[in-house]
Chains A and B, each alone.
Chain A
Amino acid sequence: MKLSRREFTVGALLAAGTMGLPIMVKAQGTKTVALLFDSLVSPFWVSGIEIMREKAKANGWETLENISDFDDNKQFEQVKAMIGRKVDGILIIQTDSKAVIPAIRAANEAGIPMVHFNRPPAESDAYSVAIQADNRKIMADTVQFLVDEAKKMGGKYKACLLIGDLGDVNAIQRRDGFFDVVDKNADMIEVVARVSTEWNADKAFAGLTNALQANPDINFLVTSSDFMHPQIEQVLQTAGKWHKRGEEGHVLFAGFDGDEGAYARLKDGYLDACGVQNLFLEVDMAFQAFIDMWAGKKPEKLLLDPGFVITQANLTEKQDEMWGYTVWKKQNG
């Protein structure tokens, strides 16, 4: 049988339409949540989106995804597109806390609940809910553990802090949490280096190298994010300071986030403590906020994940709550 071009075109369009039907039918009668990320460049976000997909599926929800690649304007377009799709909720990780405000307003106008994950927006008249780790407290607890260890061992300590991008409220809160504890122990700990990394691993490497050249006796090190661990390890190895706990010359070392590298270094004894953002709990809190808003409730604008400090003492007990352990388990069978 020969087909004319016109018959073929009409057939192709009908076929495409038929393929689309299941998508439309599937979308009916269930909740659809948009997951709008600005990037998937670190294990934290990759794990985050995987946990969200799994938990949404467990709730019987559909998910739609968009990545803005750090483009605020594109993310605004994506929010508008999701409003066009009439989703039931928008979970967003914005790049800029101010530039996201028009997107919140647009979601408010459309009556679609919006939840910010990990980064709250700037103050505005628009309503949305933000889930954020209690960075300052988690960092303070983590550094307190390190200080207690230092007290047990005695002596004086020269400290170095790797700071994140100070345009990011998370980085500021973690820095403040560090100084909340260190300032109280100034007789024992002197902060000799503050390395501004701007969340850039190369800058962390260069900054820490310079800091160690200027202060070779640094023996107390805290990083504002675990993704910089490989660079830290490299620099400390080069300086002959990469030793396990209990070994001569061990640098007291703490991290923040709770990624798979942190788990591995804790397990191997190189890392003393890590402030963990409880990603599983944060996703639960975000989804609960949607459920509450769908029920007509108005949750607080900022909900805090208390997080926890993981050390070798509680590693076995707490590892299942550490998202990095899940990643590590997958990578290591």
Chain B
Amino acid sequence: MTSTDVTAVSKPRAQAGWKRLLLSEYLVLVLTVFYFAVMWTIVPEIATADTLLDILRAMMPLLVVAIGQTFVLIVAGIDLSAPSIIAMASVVGASVLTGDGGYANGTGFEIIAGILAFIAVGAVIGTFNGLCTTRFNMPSFIVTLTTMMFFSGAAIWYTTVHTDASSIGNLPRGFIGIGQGTFFGGLPFSLFVVLVVGGAAHFILSRTVYGRWLYAVGLNPRAAAVSGVPVRRVIFWAFVISGVCAAIASILYTGRLETGTPVLGQRILLDVIGAAVIGGVSLFGGKGKILWTIFGVLFLTVIDKSLQLMGLPIASVFAIKGSIILAAAVIDAVRHRVLVRG
């Protein structure tokens, strides 16, 4: 066999390999590993055990919100209210928990009452979003944009009613442990929370009838309705799940910062939606997996951490982050073209 023959045989094989990688659901993970490897040569500190644990810790709350968002995206909706749910739940929960005259202070049930308050805020706002979207046929974009604006303001008002300061502190150590605690030699406790939420979400999406209904509604709601899928109920519960996930993320963030603050999570909306979409969840509905969302969140968290480690001026940070996300989006577009062509 001559060298020309070897090249002729290996070229299609290599092309097939690239195509397989491009179409693989692990593409974003591969890109993350590649990016990490390049960054390792520039900021070696990114590969230390402490930084890796930091990346894991930073991922956890964002991942919980993104998991909730995945449910809504699968039914071709969008939940813009997630940041305001995080903020509202944070101040309401903190007002119950705080040692400075909290509603449950001294009852012995502070932590349970506080956590229930967090979840209740998420569930109520999620229910409101779901009802408006399904009962009044309002676009989820408008409904959740409105709730985002309303509850962002309400969180600030609620804080001013409860304290002279701009945030609510003095939270019980037991609660702070949810956001800061560790187990099994340094793994964040929030990982345990995320494993439960992520495991449940994966189970619902892949093993239950409701999960199949979600995809059916996202792909074609009319066809789903004709097939007997309770479309309104399916969409309604997707918003409730998203609200509850944002509230759980709020517990993790609030515990981490030891403070209930009305501006908590106000800047993470793009990261939440971006992570899900970069992972492969479709904005047009009917497509998405928890695993993909995990990859998207990991990708964005690694980028953030690397840029933080580099300590560059803000203009460079925006330019680099924007370029990287754009590159990922272009690769995703190429991937779809290849997929459509077969």
Known contacts A40-B314, A77-B54; is-contact A72 B42 (Cβ 8 Å): no
Of A63, A72, A85, the contact of B264 (CB 8 Å cutoff): A72
Contact of B258 among A95, A102, A167 (CB under 8 A): A102
Query: Does chain B have a CB within 8 A of A267?
Result: no
Chain A residues whose CB sits within 8 angstroms of the CB of B43 once the complex forms: 20, 23, 85
What is the CA–CA distance of A76 and B255 in the complex, to the nearest angstrom? 13
Total cross-chain contacts (CB, 8 A): 121
Whole-angstrom distance between the Cβ of B111 and the nearest chain A Cβ? 18
Name A265-291 residues within 8 Å CB distance of B: none
A223 CB, nearest partner CB in chain B, Å: 20
Q: Which residues of A contact B264 (CB under 8 A)?
A: 72-73
Whether a CB of chain A sits under 8 angstroms from the CB of B37 is: yes
Decide: B311 and A17 in contact? CB cutoff 8 A: no
Q: A99-B257, A102-B180 are in contact. Are A71 and B266 (CB under 8 A)?
A: yes
Q: Are A97 and B257 in contact (CB under 8 A)?
A: no
Q: In the complex the two chains form, is B256's CB within 8 Å of A23's CB?
A: no
What chain A residues lie within 8 Å of B263 (beta carbons)? 70-72, 95-96
Contact of A34 among B42, B169, B180, B311 (CB under 8 A): B311
Report chain A residues within 8 Å CB of B166. Answer: 96-97, 165, 167-168
Chain B residues whose CB sits within 8 angstroms of the CB of A122 once the complex forms: 165, 169
Residues 67-80 of chain A, each 1 if its beta carbon lies under 8 Å from chain B, else 0: 10111111011101
Find out whether the CB atom of B256 lies under 8 angstroms from the CB atom of A102.
yes
Interface size on B, residues (CB 8 A): 44
Query: Contacts of A84 on B, CB cut-off 8 Å?
Result: 45-46, 48, 50-51, 54, 309
A65 touching B312 in the complex, CB below 8 Å, given contacts A70-B267, A72-B263: yes
8 Å CB contacts to B: which residues of A114-154? 122
Q: Is the CB of A98 within 8 A of B304?
A: no
Interface residues of B in 262-318 (CB under 8 A from A): 263-268, 304-305, 308-314, 317
Residue-wise interface mask of B (229-271) relative to A, using a CB-CB cutoff of 8 A (1 in contact, 0 not) = 0000000000000000000000001001111010111111000
User: Is B45 within 8 A of A76, CB to CB?
Assistant: no
The reply on A16 being an interface residue by CB < 8 A is yes
A19 within 8 A of B: yes
CB distance from B10 to the nearest CB of A (A): 10
CB distance from B5 to the nearest CB of A (A): 17
A168 vs chain B, min Cβ distance (A): 7
Q: Are B37 and A98 in contact (CB under 8 A)?
A: no
Give B316's nearest chain A residue, CB to CB.
A65
Query: In the complex, A71 Cα to B269 Cα: how many Å?
Result: 12
Q: Is the CB of B313 within 8 A of A85?
A: no
Cβ contact within 8 Å between B314 and A65 = yes
List of A residues within 8 angstroms of B196 by Cβ: none
Given contacts A95-B263, A102-B256, contact A13 B314 (CB under 8 A): no
Q: Verify A69–B258 contact, CB threshold 8 A.
A: no
B257 / chain A contacts, CB cutoff of 8 Å: 72-73, 76, 96, 98-99, 102
Name A85's contact: one of B61, B259, B265, B309 (CB within 8 Å): B309
Chain B residues positioned under 8 Å from A81 (CB to CB): 51, 54, 305, 308-309, 311
> CB of A326 within 8 A of chain B?
no
- CB-based contact A96/B261 at 8 Å: yes
* Contact of B44 with A by CB under 8 A: yes
Cα(A67)–Cα(B321), bound, Å: 14
- Are A101 and B44 neighbours in the complex by a CB distance under 8 Å? no
A17 to B253, CA, bound (A): 35
Which of chain A's residues have a CB closer than 8 A to the CB of B259? 72, 96, 98-99, 101
Report the minimal beta-carbon distance from B52 to chain A, rounded to whole angstroms. 10
**When the two chains form their complex, are residues B266 and A70 in contact, meaning their CB atoms are under 8 A apart?**
yes
| Bound CA–CA A80/B45 (angstroms) | 12
Q: Does A86 contact B (CB under 8 A)?
A: yes
B38 touches A16 (CB 8 A): yes
Contacts of A34 in B (CB 8 A): 311
CA A67 to CA B316, docked complex, whole Å: 11
**Interfacial chain B residues near A74, Cβ < 8 Å:** 267, 304
For A66, the chain B residues whose CB sits under 8 A away are 308, 311, 317
| Nearest B residue (CB) for A169 | B165
B188 to chain A, nearest CB (A): 12
Q: Does A3 contact B (CB under 8 A)?
A: no
> Is the pair B48, A167 in contact by a Cβ cutoff of 8 Å?
no
**B41 within 8 A of partner (CB):** yes
Question: Does A82 lie at the interface of the complex (its beta carbon under 8 Å from any beta carbon of B)?
Answer: yes
Asked if A24 is an interface residue, CB under 8 A from chain B, the answer is yes
Evaluate contact between B167 and A96: CB separation under 8 angstroms: yes
- A interface residues (Cβ-Cβ under 8 A, vs B): 5, 13, 16-17, 19-20, 23-24, 34, 40, 63-67, 69-74, 76-78, 80-86, 95-99, 101-102, 122, 165-168
Known: A16-B41, A98-B169. 4 other contacts (CB 8 A): A65-B312, A77-B304, A98-B167, A122-B169
List the 9 shortest-distance A-B pairs measured between CB atoms, nearest first: A64-B311, A167-B166, A17-B41, A81-B308, A98-B169, A20-B42, A99-B259, A99-B257, A98-B259
Interfacial residues, chain B to chain A (CB-CB below 8 A): 14, 37-38, 41-46, 48, 50-51, 54, 58, 61, 164-169, 180, 253, 256-259, 261, 263-268, 304-305, 308-314, 317
Q: Could you list some 29 contacts between A and B, CB below 8 A?
A: A13-B38, A20-B43, A23-B42, A23-B43, A64-B310, A65-B314, A66-B308, A73-B256, A73-B264, A77-B58, A77-B305, A77-B308, A81-B51, A81-B305, A81-B309, A84-B48, A84-B51, A96-B257, A96-B259, A96-B261, A96-B263, A97-B167, A99-B167, A101-B169, A102-B180, A102-B258, A122-B165, A167-B167, A168-B166
